[in-house]
Amino acid sequence: MLFSGGTGRQKLNISFVSFGISQFFVFDISLKLVSQKSFLSPDSQSTFIPVAEWSRGEGQCFQVGHWNDLVMISCYDLSKQFGEFWAVDGVTLDVQPGEVLVLLGQNGAGKTTTVRMLTAVLTPSRGWAKVAGYDVMKHPSKVRSLVGVLTEQHGLYARMTAEEYLDFFGQVYGIDPVARRARSNYLFEYFGLMQVADRRTGEYSKGMRQKLALARALIHEPPVLLLDEPTSAMDPESARLVRDHIADLRSSQRSIIICTHNLTEAEYLADKIAIIYRGKTIIQGTLDEIKQKLMGPAEYEIRLGGEWSLDRLRLPENIRVTSRGSHGFAYQVDQPAVTNPIIVQNLTGQQVPVISLQEVPRSLEQIYLEAMARVEKGMAL
């Protein structure tokens, strides 16, 4: 929290509470003088947002903060009903600044509907959602100004040039002409579109369109990004470029939700994963947490020099052997950092040569398929 302030009629009385990141102060104080509640003026691209507000006497008081201080995306029991059908049913999520949450699920599971509710395009039928401190139902316009969205379809106007297209959306987000130009040029340069920026988007290849759509989502430097299949239709090189850019955005403390079917990409980018099945979140957490939950503790494999019978080896009791052979065995252990050195020590103490000890890789694909298999069989996760 940086400071608290209050407005009495048109006057703003600012009282400093604490000093943190200070480079925004002067700029934003002047902003609040002209705008009573709108801390994030689209003209200024300020990153201040209200984190609390209350009434005192005649004035409305606020506490404001930088978006680093907040849970940027937060929803509870978020649900959407179309007719009799619940497309999303009780999704609860939290995304911190600098965090990437990947939503996984089958087609029609409710990922896109969830994202559309978070962008305030669809109104939730039940539950609530806050994006950058704003309630999606109470302040939809504010939410939309703070979110960069890459939609399922690229959504480009075929008769506009890429330059015109980015300029148009820059104006929609209220960016001034100089900043618009600079930002567009940066994005064209970054995505390798500078040479074709004056061409109509109808002439673009699929991958180029996807890059331009991503540039559109980034034109206003939003603190929150909601990306639906960001690398679909892209060649491997471009996909890598986009993934790296998303990683950069994460480093700059942006909160990102990605919907994807590309599990390799998900594994590369995700800080957290949520799997949605028929509108419900069936499991969520970090990749390690999900692995642990679905497939038990981490699994390790030891290869031994020569043939050995496992029954004759002395091993710690807290390991669970999952497979065995004459040249080695695999096991699961809860605290590998403690137990693995003991195992190696025991084996070498028994004159058993240890050729290798490595963790058995468990891909996100295995985990996802396991989750789906269990849920379809009606088993608990």
Give the footprint of another protein on this chain (CB under 8 A). Answer: 42, 82, 116, 119, 121-123, 141-142, 144-145, 147, 149, 151-160, 164, 168-169, 171-174, 213, 216
What's the one-letter identity of residue 315?
Answer: L
Rounded to 10 degrees, the C-alpha dihedral 272/277/280/283 comes to -40
Comparison of 18 and 153: residue with beta carbon closer to another protein = 153
Residue placing its CB nearer to another protein in the complex, 144 or 243: 144
* Pick 37 or 327: Cβ nearer another protein: 37
- Identify which of 323, 274, 272, 276 has the alpha carbon closest to the alpha carbon of residue 301: 323
In angstroms, what is the minimal distance from the CB of 34 to another protein?
12
Q: How far is the CB of 73 from another protein (least distance, A)?
A: 15
Q: Residue 205 Cβ, how far from another protein at the closest point, in Å?
A: 17
Cβ 355 to another protein, closest distance in Å?
55
The DSSP secondary-structure symbol of 80 reads: E
Q: Which of 204, 119, 207, 212 is nearest to 165 (CA)?
A: 212
When the beta carbons of 16 and 157 are compared against another protein, the nearer one is 157
- Residue 164 vs 370, nearer CB to another protein: 164
* Cα dist from 218 to 2, 150, 170, 373, whole Å: 26, 9, 10, 37
Q: Which is nearer to another protein, 142 or 291 (CB)?
A: 142
Cα(255)–Cα(148) distance, rounded to whole angstroms?
A: 10
Q: Tell me the closest approach of the beta carbon of residue 219 to another protein, in angstroms.
A: 10
Instruction: Report CA 223 to chain centroid distance, whole Å.
Output: 11
Sign of CA dihedral 363, 364, 369, 371: positive
Q: Which of 72, 273 has the CB closer to another protein? A: 72
Closest distance of CB 214 from another protein, Å: 11
Tell me how far apart the alpha carbons of residues 167 and 177 are, in angstroms, rounded to a whole number: 8
Nearer to another protein, 2 or 132 (CB): 132
Return the residue matching tokens 């903060």: 65
**DSSP assignment of 251-295:** HTT-EEEEE-S-HHHHHHH-SEEEEEETTEEEEEE-HHHHHHHHH
Give me the least distance between CB of 264 and another protein, in Å please: 26
Q: Cβ of residue 210: shortest distance to another protein, in angstroms?
A: 12
Nearer to another protein, 42 or 296 (CB): 42
Q: How far apart are CA 94 and CA 340, in angstroms?
A: 34
69: left (phi over 0), alpha (psi -120 to 50) or beta: alpha
What is the maximum span of the chain, computed from C-alpha positions, in angstroms?
85
Least distance in angstroms from the C-beta of 121 to another protein: 5
